[in-house]
Amino acid sequence: MDKNVKICIIGGGPAGLSAGMYLEKKGYENYTILERNDHVGGKCHSPYYNGRRYEMGAIMGVPSYYAVHDVEEFCGITHDGPQLNRNYKDRNGNVIEPFEPKKNIFKIPRLLKMKKQITELGRILETKYQGYDLNGHRGVAQGRYEGFAVSPEREPVSGVNENLKDLSMPFKEWCEMNHVELVQDVWIGPFTSFGYGYFDEIPAAYVLKYLDFQTCMNFVRINLWTWKNGTQFIWESLNDKLKNHARLNSDITKVERKDGKVYVTVNGKTEEYDKLIVTSPLQYFPEYADAREDEAKYFGKIDYERYDVLAVETRPEDHPEISYYVFDNMTPDRLGHLMVYYRRWRDSKDQVITTYALRKHKNSEEIPYEECKQTVLDDLKTMKNPATNVVNEKSWYYFPHVFSDDYAAGWYDDVEAMQGKYDTYYAGEIMSFGDMDETAEYSRELVERFF
């Protein structure tokens, strides 16, 4: 492709900014990043409170976040944030140690069985499901894999593996089929509590591409990355480093593609481009763009999670001494309840804690936002960490995905076949997974494949 091609990137989150970086690395400098909000970073959102930043979205990373590490190297920054730790409570606010045999004598048989099943899971992922962990979903529903290895070198790999078709079924069913159902006790912590839905509804491909064996073990061992100035700082640093900074407060009202050109109306003025990369939610693309029949058809199948975050103050004597997971509340029947709450700064009680809750399940009625908010505040009282004030709140459009039937029917292969068809390329969360590294990695692969 001509290096002077004029490219419009919609979205200034990890996917859009990473696309700009990888384009720049390949010699494409005629790009424009349009961001609707007054800041970059998307769901990597780190506001200030009493001079320190806290997290309203993404919290942490792990050493296998190779795309994020690319950004760190490009910007000259590193993961220099506070060390995180955690403990567990039951729904009644009692501190528990669910994985400690000495504290759960009657659960020892289950814990031993779980340990064996985790080992078995590692084995079958390495053998039966070879290729499962590649970024993106190309070929999975067809029983093949194609992409780049999960390694710093990202060497290209491909192959045929009929077993990969199994990954379209819900993770709960997949685990039961492979006789490793107890691994859900471990995987649920960094999955459901992080807002990615429930194992009885989400295809196994999403779970295992995000929480591949290496990544999940990093979470278990608390081998985590954080950033002193928050995850948003990663993307602020990248935006500052790029030759073309994202244009903030860009209100796109129309996209028209005709005669080999892309016309974008932003803040009332129409701009002309040669190519378009959409990293903002594809579900909403037809609302402002001249969506073709196939775009409207496939993007209309996308669903998403309603993931609510509160930043609250407490009295010093009620401030939690550590972050807590509440596994009891990570099941569909406890929809809308507090699943996890974080204390980011261990050296000060003059900071907020952040709470996280889901309020949608495929087979349940969506819980209204205010009702969920009140439930979480009530749960904090039960946890013996009552809030005195809510200083920030956010209900995210979170983890766009398709369900098992559409996944198995080849949603991803059909959408991938559309790449470039209308001088338009599709990236962002839905094309890989809804965490910052997966979306950045997909942008890298998109640039490698088409530019």
Q: Is it the case that residue 104 has pLDDT exceeding 80? A: no
Using an 8 Å Cβ cutoff, are 436 and 61 in contact? yes
Concatenated DSSP letters of 100-138: -GGG-GGGHHHHHHHHHHHHHHHHHHHTTTTTTTSSS-T
Distance CA 79, CA 230 (A): 9
What pairing do the DSSP bridges indicate for beta strands 86-89 and 323-325? parallel
Q: Is it the case that residue 168 has pLDDT exceeding 90? A: yes
**pLDDT the model gives residue 14:** 98
**pLDDT the model gives residue 435:** 96
**Structure letter (DSSP) for residue 170:** B
Element (H, E) at 15: helix 14-25
**pLDDT the model gives residue 103:** 77
C-alpha torsion sign, points 37, 301, 32, 440:
positive
Q: How many helices (DSSP H) and strands (DSSP E) are in the chain?
A: 14, 18
Averaged over 230-257, what is the pLDDT?
98
Sorted by where each starts, the structural domains of the chain and their CATH numbers stand as 7-49+227-302+402-450 (3.50.50.60), 103-220 (1.10.405.20)
Token readout for 217 is: 């073990």
Q: Which of 413, 333, 439 is nearest to 165 (CA)?
A: 413
Confidence of residue 26 (pLDDT cuts 50, 70, 90): very high
Token readout for 162 is: 């009929």
Q: For residue 265, give Cα distances in angstroms to 164, 398, 405, 427.
A: 42, 26, 36, 20
Q: Is it the case that residue 150 has pLDDT exceeding 90? A: no
What pairing do the DSSP bridges indicate for beta strands 7-10 and 31-34? parallel
Give residue-wise pLDDT tens across range 402-412. 999 999 999 99
Residue for token pair 């084995």: 123
Give residue-wise pLDDT tens across range 34-46. 999 999 999 999 9
Token readout for 177 is: 């089929």
Q: Is it the case that residue 201 has pLDDT exceeding 80? A: yes
Give residue-wise pLDDT tens across range 318-335. 999 999 999 999 999 999
Confidence of residue 60 (pLDDT cuts 50, 70, 90): very high
Task: Count Cβ atoms below 10 Å from residue 294 Cβ, excluding itself.
Answer: 14
Distance CA 347, CA 301 (A): 46
**Residue 86: phi, psi to the nearest 5?**
-155, 165
Q: For residue 181, give Cα distances in angstroms to 78, 167, 186, 450.
A: 37, 15, 10, 40
**pLDDT the model gives residue 105:** 82
Give residue-wise pLDDT tens across range 420-440. 999 999 999 999 999 999 999
**pLDDT the model gives residue 151:** 86
Averaged over 348-374, what is the pLDDT?
96
Averaged over 306-321, what is the pLDDT?
97
Rounded to two decimals, what is the model's pTM?
0.96
**Structure letter (DSSP) for residue 334:** G
The most confident of 213-217, 315-319, 346-350, by mean pLDDT: 315-319
